[in-house]
A and B are shown apart, each in its own frame.
Chain A
Amino acid sequence: MDHYSVATATAVNEAELIIRAQNGERNAFSELVRIHSRGVFNVVYRMCGDALVAEDAAQETFIRAWQNLSSYHPQTTLRNWLYRIAFNAAMDMLRKEKRIIPTDIEDMQLTDERPGPESQVSQHERTAMVQKAVLSLPDASRAVLVLKEYEGMSYREIADALDIPIGTVMSRLNYARKLLKEKLEPKLFVKMEVEHV
């Protein structure tokens, strides 16, 4: 069976599962949860930056999806519809947790600020700093960035998932990357270049 046939069969199977779940079949809905749990968790984790909060948000996403399944229309893919719910759930969780994550990386200090090859910025510090930078982005821009960078979605798919025009997807993505570059460049890019010398 070629790739197209597999994709079509999967889509048909998912469409069947959706109809059954809309009719109240919990097992069919569980199957949909199984199919989409990874993607939803990935998205909410990238939005929240905390595994426990993300797990709660992912659960909340599927509970809301179950409660509102009657309003789902196949014009949007189920994945995009779930991601839209996931973003709202993640944002609600962050508000509930009162945004314990720092909103600015300027406060973060590297263990070794010395320029040059002797710099010892650990991988852990780097990823922590990048994650903080991502979390400090405005929610709307972060959402677009997460879908593009981590889910590999096209601009059109992102527009569909977030219910915004493609032009807005582009401007938010440009803005998010520009902010990240501004925040990370002075701390990381210089050191990366030095490491490569």
Chain B
Amino acid sequence: MSNHVTEWLNAYFDGELTGKRLHQVEEHLAECEACQTELEALGNVSGLLHEIPLPDFPSPERFATQVNLLLPQKRTPPPQRSLFEIGWWMIPVGLLAVWVFISTAILLGDVVSVAKNFGLLDSTTASFISAPSETAEVTSTLGQFGMLQGNSLQWAETTETITRSWFPQIVLYVAVALLYLIWIVVWWTRHTRQLSGSLLES
């Protein structure tokens, strides 16, 4: 009989298997004498372990009194959340704040642009609050020197304008999202390091 289930016998013996894995081990055990013997040996070892008696131990009340007398008078102060922990939980809050700030700034910029286009802002206010111009300065300069002409000049101007207006926003969003993702991964790793329950299932 091949494909013995030896590596799962302990978990089976301890009642830790579930799902497909449990079914697989049970099916194998029904047919394999070697694994049945191995399982029986586990039972024998466990039985022997439980033959070791516990010695007399002071009653819990007496022991608690003894310990109380031994406790040092001064103890470390009551729990305070460490700065590291507070800082750790502030990371997602900070990232969320950055995200909201960027979105608000972009939205306000768009509103100002629209207002400016419709002539709702006087020239002084517009020049005070409007964002730097998103013209294709580089392309224009290249055009002046005759390095770009016709369709290629037009295409380059459009590309530069879009890049100037959208690229920084995209970079910021991606950076914030990436940092948040890294935080989640670290958090997940810390909290699920031991919870690999699926290992026991299938």
- A residues with a Cβ closer than 8 A to B are 22-24, 26, 29-31, 33-35, 37-38, 41-42, 45-46, 51, 54-55, 58-59, 62-63, 66-72, 123, 126-127, 130-131, 134, 145, 148-150, 154-156, 159-160, 163-167, 170, 173-174, 177, 180-181, 184-185, 188-189, 192
Contact (Cβ within 8 A) A67 B76: yes
- B53 adjacent to chain A (CB < 8 Å): yes
A130 & B48 in contact (Cβ 8 Å cutoff): yes
A163 to B56, CA, bound (A): 30
Contact B60 A38 (CB under 8 A): yes
For B79, give the chain A residue with the smallest CB separation: A70
Given A154-B16, A155-B14, A192-B44: A167 in contact with B199 (beta carbons within 8 A): yes
Candidates A23, A45, A58, A148; contact of B54 at CB < 8 Å: A45
What are 8 sample pairs from A and B whose C-beta atoms fall under 8 A apart?
A: A30-B64, A30-B68, A33-B60, A33-B67, A33-B68, A37-B60, A69-B75, A189-B44
Question: Is A22's CB under 8 angstroms from B194's CB?
Answer: no
A88 CA / B60 CA spacing, docked (Å): 21
B64 adjacent to A34 (CB under 8 Å): yes
Q: Mark B42-77, 1 if CB is under 8 A from A, else 0.
A: 101110111111111110110111111011100111
The listed residue (B71, B80, B200) touching A26 by CB distance below 8 A is B71
| B11 and A155 contact, CB distance less than 8 A | yes
Which of B46, B72, B79 lies at the interface centre, i.e. has the most chain A CB atoms within 10 A of its CB? B79
The number of residue pairs between A and B whose CB atoms lie closer than 8 Å in the complex comes to 137
Interface size class of B (residues with CB under 8 A): 35 or more
Q: Contacts A130-B49, A174-B10, A188-B48 given; indicate if A24 touches B68 (C-beta within 8 A).
A: no
Chain A residues near B114 (CB, 8 Å)?
A: none
Majority DSSP secondary structure for residues of A touching B:
helix
- Return chain A residues, CB-CB under 8 Å to B65: 30
A156 and B200 alpha carbons, distance in the complex (Å): 11
- Chain A residues near B41 (CB, 8 Å)? 181, 185, 189
Docked CA distance A22–B195 (Å): 28
Determine the residue in chain A with the shortest Cβ distance to B7. A174
A143 to B16, CA, bound (A): 18
Known: A30-B65, A174-B7. A67 touches B72 (CB 8 A): yes
